[in-house]
């Protein structure tokens, strides 16, 4: 035994003796003293000898079990509730705000393969978008319409950054909520390209309720004659992301059999919903939103961009998006009873629409710069 271990063992033993000497008939005072000793022991745990660690582990388990049994038979007071929470905390079973905050601030310990591929695709192609946006901003924009469209592109970038961070942590519903905003912004950009007078309405002095009535998402999609698939995707974003719904609650619930009383044991997931289909779809739709944003940048600001560079960037992104869908959504379902033809058709539809946007860019682009 090292000198450091001897000193740590002695300190813990002496502290326990002093704690027991302060014996009291008051449960609250006794509990506080015991918890102080546990905290002292654990603060010195790394320096204890192996024998002392075993004693500390055994004592900790014994004390916590005893405290739980006592708490169960005591009246429901504020102090007893605090006691129970302290027991949960000591056992590592308490929900703590610090844990949830830190888990979002820090990196994910081990990313699934899909998350890694999605993250690589996102960073690579977001850099392209940022380069194009910076190229555009070097020019003087002509009028309110261009200012609004470029401003909405900036909104999309921020929303996608937030969505990607949340997707890494499997906050699927929150990802969908941000992507819904992206889709609304992209539809407005497309509408302003098609009908410049819509910008006048959007920037007018009319109340936001009047503007919303005329430019709400469903009406904008109708004015653009968007394929119904986009309405379905928007509905999904709303149902599991933006609007509280039973689907949203069901997605974060798990049935774990029966409780000791024989009732259904439903576990509510907090801090993300890893392993759910919504978490997987979040990454797919995130990549899809990148494709749609790059298409709109190309169509909206082509006169500020280099045609060859834009065409190559779009082709690369569309190809990587299609591979992501096939490899992580279609192929894993092959050989199962789950129908994949509709999912594949939707992916191909999105790809083909993006390619049409690419063709439109080629036909309508100005001189290369």
Q: What is the pLDDT of residues 269-296, one digit of tens each?
A: 889 999 888 899 899 999 999 999 999 9
Candidates 313, 289, 319; CA nearest to 361 is: 313
Answer yes or no: is pLDDT of 366 > 50. no
Cβ contacts of residue 33 below 8 Å, gap of 6+? 19, 22, 24
- pLDDT tens sequence across 65-78: 776 677 677 777 78
Place of tokens 């050989």: 335
- For residue 182 the two structure tokens come to 């992206």
The structure's pTM equals 0.77
Kindly report, residue by residue over 100-143, the tens digit of the pLDDT. 899 899 888 888 999 999 999 999 999 999 999 999 999 988 88
Question: What is the helix (H) or strand (E) element at residue 256, kind and residue range?
Answer: strand 253-258
d(CA 230, CA 346) in angstroms, rounded, equals 10
**192-213 average pLDDT score:** 92
Specify whether the CB–CB gap between 351 and 314 falls below 8 A. no
Count the neighbouring beta carbons within 10 Å of the beta carbon of residue 292: 22
Which DSSP string corresponds to 338-354? S--HHHHHHHHHHHHHH
């Amino acid at each position: 035994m090292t000198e450091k271990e001897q000193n740590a063992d002695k300190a813990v033993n002496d502290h326990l003796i002093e704690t027991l000497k302060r014996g009291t008939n008051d449960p609250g005072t006794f509990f506080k003293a015991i918890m102080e000793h546990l905290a002292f022991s654990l603060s010195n745990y790394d320096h204890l000898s192996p024998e002392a660690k075993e004693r500390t582990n055994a004592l900790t388990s014994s004390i916590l079990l005893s405290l739980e049994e006592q708490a169960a038979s005591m009246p429901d007071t504020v102090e007893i509730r605090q006691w129970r929470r302290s027991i949960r905390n000591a056992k590592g079973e308490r929900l703590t705000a610090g844990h949830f905050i830190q888990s979002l601030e820090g990196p994910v310990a081990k990313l699934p393969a899909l998350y890694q591929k999605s993250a690589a695709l996102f960073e690579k192609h977001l850099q392209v978008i940022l380069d194009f946006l910076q190229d555009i901003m070097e020019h003087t924009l002509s009028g309110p319409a261009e200012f609004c469209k470029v401003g909405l592109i900036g909104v999309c970038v921020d929303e996608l950054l937030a969505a990607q961070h949340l997707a890494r942590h499997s906050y699927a519903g929150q990802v969908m909520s941000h992507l819904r905003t992206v889709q609304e912004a992209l539809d407005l950009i497309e509408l302003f390209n098609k009908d410049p007078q819509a910008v006048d309405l959007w920037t007018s002095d009319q109340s936001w309720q009047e503007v919303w009535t005329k430019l709400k998402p469903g009406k904008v999609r109708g004015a653009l004659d968007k394929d119904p698939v986009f309405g379905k995707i928007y509905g999904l974003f709303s149902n599991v992301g933006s609007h509280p719904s039973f689907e949203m609650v069901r997605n974060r619930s798990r049935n774990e059999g029966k409780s000791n009383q024989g009732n259904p044991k439903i576990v509510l997931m907090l801090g993300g919903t890893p392993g759910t289909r919504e978490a997987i779809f979040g990454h797919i739709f995130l990549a899809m939103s990148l494709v749609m944003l790059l298409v709109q940048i190309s169509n909206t600001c082509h006169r500020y961009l280099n045609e060859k560079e834009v065409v190559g960037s779009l082709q690369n992104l569309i190809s990587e998006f299609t591979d992501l869908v096939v490899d992580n959504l279609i192929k894993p379902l092959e050989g199962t009873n789950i129908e994949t033809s509709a999912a594949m058709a939707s992916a191909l539809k999105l790809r083909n629409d993006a390619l049409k946007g690419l063709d439109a860019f080629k036909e309508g682009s100005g001189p290369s710069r």
